[in-house]
Amino acid sequence: MAKFRSKNKPLRVFKPQQRSVISGQHLIPVASLADDGRGIAAINGKNVFVTGALAGETVSARYVASHKTHDEAVVVSVSKNSPHRVKPLCEYFDQCGGCDLQHLDYPSQTQHKWDRLSQLFSPWLDNDDRLVMGSITGDPWSYRHRARFAVDASKHSCNIGFRQARSHKVVDITRCSIVFDGINDALATVRRLVKSLKNRSVINEVSITEDSSGNIGIAIFCTRPLSASDIAAVSEHAITHDCHIEVRSSATATQCMFPEDRSVALSYTLDSYDVVIPYTVDDFTQVNPAINHRLVALTIKWLQLGEKDIVADFFCGIGNFSLPISTFVARTVGFEWVASMVDKARSNAVFNHIDNCEFKVIDLTADRLVIDEDFNKALLDPPRAGAEKICKQLAESKLERIVYISCNPRTLARDSKILTQGNYQLTELSLADMFPQTVHSEVVALFTRSDQAPSELG
């Protein structure tokens, strides 16, 4: 029989305990730098993460949050400076969440990333003196060829920029120190365009890219379709400024694009291989062209490509690695789970007159891939989640060489353990600083077999 709560007994509602934040300013000695770029201090046995502080500094800080395991604070002033502290180049650094490390000199930024990488890969570094370490660095400023800006527009205001760290607030910026100059110029014109639109409040993001030839592409992301008059204004902007513009009314639906015939596509060039990669403004491309060129070169070097090789490229995208690799080998097959990217990769192969490169749609999250190919070498360039299931299958294979490009060192370390518990050893590891001024980095690893047996992947 059903039981009913007595009317005299009120419901008990759980309320999470509110931890009071320590008031006032406090002198805090900072011991080290956290993964996210904040300083770490230990106060009364509890870690304090201090935004704006560097290792070895003593700072006056204000507490902003208290948690069970740690507290959070922000720097008010610095009493004892780190010798590696520098003045941030960007005037918005203290507000904007786009960069983490502009107050740290560039050699120390790369050292911080190496220290984190060394901790993650200590099982290999401590036990195998054959492991070769390297690094790829470039210009720490004006390196991004694309950027995605948040938009907070209303009848009375229009903020376009990046969100504050750990906040939804959009910091309005007029220029960014880490993007190409052409993007900053385009940002100014886009701001004027957005302000002129009657229905601008439906716009939540704008993506801008500059290609190898200086052509500009713009994608405007909206929560609802723009009006006909606003679309006309966007079209006029594309004509006046000679740029490519897409208006998207959802994550997948394109409301319109200009020019409509797409007669001149955006593209980037891999000069060393005589390969041109056409792309659209919303396609995934590596943000740092200079480092990308060197990553492609390193991958080709590490794979030791020959004219009889058959290479598998997992997470191939629009052909960034597959197409240049194809110029050295008998055959390359790129695998991707996004059908639209495979279509573009196929089109890019035709554009470059490359006929020994095939692209296939496949579920790269499947427990086991069914592949009717006889590969002898492979590369992987997965998203941040890594490629755990694929690596479990590759670990059992007899591929001669595997190159793994990662934007998340933690998942690379996890997947490296899988491969090295199988048939492979970690031979080389290189940091590629794709994202200077931030805590993020790209890492590339080479795995080899000592017996160099024929491949058996299937």
Binding residues: 286, 315, 336, 381
Q: What phi and psi, each to the nearest 5 degrees, are found at residue 293?
A: -55, -45
Count Cβ atoms below 10 Å from residue 442 Cβ, excluding itself: 24
CB atoms within 10 A of CB 242: 10
- What CA–CA distance (Å, rounded) separates 242 from 159? 24
In b/e form, how buried is each residue of 380-417, taking b as 16+ CB within 10 angstroms?
bbbeeebbebbbbbbbebebbbbbbbbbbbebbbebbe
Task: Give the annotated binding-site residues for S-adenosyl-L-methionine.
Answer: 286, 315, 336, 381
Active-site residues: which are they?
A: 407
DSSP 3-state assignment of 230?
A: helix
Q: Which residues fall within 8 angstroms of residue 313, CB to CB, at 6 or more apart?
A: 321, 322, 325, 332, 333, 334, 335, 378, 379, 381
Q: What distance separates the 2 farthest-apart alpha carbons in the chain?
A: 84
Q: Compute the chain's Rg from CA coordinates.
A: 25
CA-nearest of 137, 136, 135, 130 to 447 is 130
Crossing angle of helices 409-420 and 106-120, rounded to 10° = 40
**How many other C-beta atoms can be found within 10 angstroms of the C-beta atom of residue 317?**
24
Distance of alpha carbon 392 from alpha carbon 385, whole angstroms: 15
What torsion, rounded to 10 degrees, do the Cα atoms 92, 84, 79, 435 define?
30
Of the candidates 292, 291, 341, the one whose C-alpha atom is nearest the C-alpha of residue 316 is: 341
Bond before 83 cis per omega within 30 degrees: no
CB of 397 closer than 8 Å to CB of 456: yes
What separation, in Å, do the N-terminal and C-terminal C-alpha atoms of the chain show? 58
